[in-house]
A and B are shown apart, each in its own frame.
Chain A
Amino acid sequence: MRRWLAPAAGFAALVLALATLEWAARAGWVSPFLTPSPSEIAAAGWRMAAEEPLASAFFSTLGVALAATIAAALVGVPAGWAMYRFPTLGQAYEDWVAALFSAPLILLYPLFLVLFGRGLLTIAMIGFLSGVIPMALKTYEGFGAVPKVLVNVARSFNLTETAVLAKVLLPAALPTVFTGLRLAFIYTTINVVGLEYLVNIGGLGYLVGRMYDRYDIPAMYAAVAFVLLISVLGFWAAERLERFGRGS
């Protein structure tokens, strides 16, 4: 099978799906109020760029998600390291952290609203909280899987704690740590956009909700498309960062 065949077929499938939708909407097979045609959605995107604070909403969501992810990494990696370095901590808290990972943390948002006020700080804090857990968990998992020999060699060379971390643990556990970072970004973005939508503040999530309330359905689909764009950008950035970290 030729290499380009599958991506080409995938792209063709997308074009075909869009064309079918366009045709179905124009022929009146589906209600244009419920499923607008792709061309109408694209036009709504342009319209929103002119009339709505689309750019500022986009950068607000992206900025809050990135800031929360970075904060989650700055706290989560040391936390994971501490759990690795002091086994009692690891044994005591690993199950708890894993349980929190699957707990619906976003439901705590009423508490956060009262504590941090009805603004971007609340959204960022919820994003941070949901990102720091996978970050710590994956760091701990990655460090735990580093071959004991490597660590023992470093110790027999009398390396300092920082040097062991920087020269042995982090490089050896890099793929897992980056999985953690990617998970942190995903969970942060999910919670940031979700909360924006739920409480009607901030960026794209708020915009989606407002377009729905206004029953401007094409514009709502366009706003959803911009949310997709953020997750694509985030993924691309994480992949680039990982390649950079591996030094290739």
Chain B
Amino acid sequence: MSRATRLRVATLILAWAAWEALARSGVVFQGVVPSSLAVFASAATLLGSPGFYAHLWRSTEEIGLGFVIGSAAGVAIGTAMGVSVFFGRIAHPYIHVFAPTPKIIFLPVLMILFGVDVGSKIAMGSISAFFPVVVATYDGVRLVSPVLVRVASSLGCSIWQIVAKVYFPSMLPAVVTGMRLGLGVAIIGTLLAEIKLSNRGLGFLAIQEYEGFHIPDLYAVLLITFALAVAANVAIGRVAARLQRHR
């Protein structure tokens, strides 16, 4: 075992022991910091109950659709901004301003436009995912070597051919990195929207457990959500690594 691995294992054990000690010491209210055994038991019950999968499916659907819509729009607009210098200069300041704003603040607007049900959650996921993807795509397009573009255009390629055969292959790694970030924020945006107002989904489940003060159940929901988010992120990372190898 390497030193780094040993350090990791030690950290995990220490963190877990500290949590258990804190839970059993009585320094903090047991309802707030429950024993990890209670949390794991809750997680097992949760994973075994069919009701949980309805929530999971709703969240997956919302996040998935939002992510696909948002990143498709991001790639399209980002590419257009990079290919057309003029359009890029027009759009860039606006993207620049909107990209770092907290998107959750638009939730009331989205609820007005798309309804309080699934629509506003998908829209929330879309605008969350859109910005990291559009920024990364724009950066990626501008890194494409101008020599390649000039060669293609002197060979008589149309603008669409240049986009498909030159731009897309060279900017792929940047786009995938953007999509990775985009998926992360789409998950956060969608779950927050569910927390604020919904009747199904993992975010709703978490806030329901919180309001009922079922703290071990709350931690169980969070634990499962974190695990799924990390798994999704690792999956995109794997895809990215594979794409990079095939280039």
Q: Please pick, from B4, B104, B113, B219, the residue contacting A197 in the complex, using a CB distance under 8 A.
A: B104
Q: Please pick, from B90, B111, B184, the residue contacting A6 in the complex, using a CB distance under 8 A.
A: B90
- For B103, the chain A residues whose CB sits under 8 A away are 190
Query: Which of chain B's residues 209-236 have a Cβ closer than 8 Å to chain A?
Result: 210, 215, 218-219, 222, 225-226, 229-230, 233
- For B187, the chain A residues whose CB sits under 8 A away are 104
Query: Which of chain B's residues 69-106 have a Cβ closer than 8 Å to chain A?
Result: 85-86, 89-91, 93-94, 96-98, 100-106
Which one of B49-57, B142-150, B153-161, B189-197 is at the interface? B189-197
Main secondary structure of the interface of A (DSSP, over half): helix
Interface readout for B1-12 with A: 1 if CB under 8 Å, 0 if not?
011110110010
Query: Which of chain A's residues 171-208 have a Cβ closer than 8 Å to chain B?
Result: 185-186, 189-194, 197-198, 204-205, 208
Which one of A69-77, A135-143, A157-165, A225-233 is at the interface? A225-233
The docked-state distance in angstroms from the alpha carbon of A13 to that of B102 is: 24
Is B181 positioned at the interface, with any CB of A under 8 Å from its CB? yes
Interface size class of A (residues with CB under 8 A): 35 or more
Query: Which of chain A's residues 78-109 have a Cβ closer than 8 Å to chain B?
Result: 88-89, 91-93, 96, 99, 101-104, 106-108
Q: Which of B4, B105, B111 has the most CB of A within 10 A?
A: B105
Contacts A92-B5, A104-B225 given; does A231 touch B192 at CB 8 Å: no
Q: Which of A7, A190, A217 has the most CB of B within 10 A?
A: A190
Is A34 positioned at the interface, with any CB of B under 8 Å from its CB? yes
Q: How far is the CB of A58 from chain B (nearest CB, A)?
A: 13
Q: Which of A7, A9, A10, A205 has the most CB of B within 10 A?
A: A10
Contact across chains for B94 and A208 when beta carbons are under 8 A apart: no
Q: Please pick, from A5, A96, A114, A193, the residue contacting B102 in the complex, using a CB distance under 8 A.
A: A193
Contact across chains for B230 and A189 when beta carbons are under 8 A apart: no
Report how many A-B pairs have Cβ atoms within 8 Å: 138
Contact across chains for B7 and A92 when beta carbons are under 8 A apart: yes
Q: Please pick, from A7, A101, A228, the residue contacting B89 in the complex, using a CB distance under 8 A.
A: A7
Query: Which of chain A's residues 192-248 have a Cβ closer than 8 Å to chain B?
Result: 192-194, 197-198, 204-205, 208-209, 211-212, 217, 220-221, 224, 227-228, 231-232, 234-235
Contact across chains for A197 and B3 when beta carbons are under 8 A apart: no
Contact across chains for B105 and A197 when beta carbons are under 8 A apart: yes
Q: Please pick, from A10, A89, A103, A211, the residue contacting B91 in the complex, using a CB distance under 8 A.
A: A10
Interface size class of B (residues with CB under 8 A): 35 or more
Contact across chains for B222 and A115 when beta carbons are under 8 A apart: no
- For A221, the chain B residues whose CB sits under 8 A away are 109
Q: How far is the CB of B47 from chain A (nearest CB, A)?
A: 18
Q: How far is the CB of A34 from chain B (nearest CB, A)?
A: 5
Contact across chains for B107 and A235 when beta carbons are under 8 A apart: no
Contact across chains for A217 and B105 when beta carbons are under 8 A apart: no
The 7 A-B pairs with the shortest beta carbon distances in the complex, nearest first, are: A6-B89, A102-B184, A91-B4, A212-B108, A186-B100, A190-B102, A193-B102
Task: Given contacts A102-B229, A194-B104, A221-B109, list 15 more A-B pairs with CB under 8 A.
Answer: A1-B86, A102-B183, A102-B184, A102-B233, A104-B188, A108-B222, A110-B206, A186-B100, A189-B100, A189-B101, A197-B105, A198-B196, A208-B108, A228-B98, A235-B100
What are 8 residue pairs bridging A and B, where the CB atoms are less than 8 Å apart in the complex? A10-B89, A102-B233, A104-B184, A108-B222, A110-B207, A197-B196, A217-B112, A227-B105
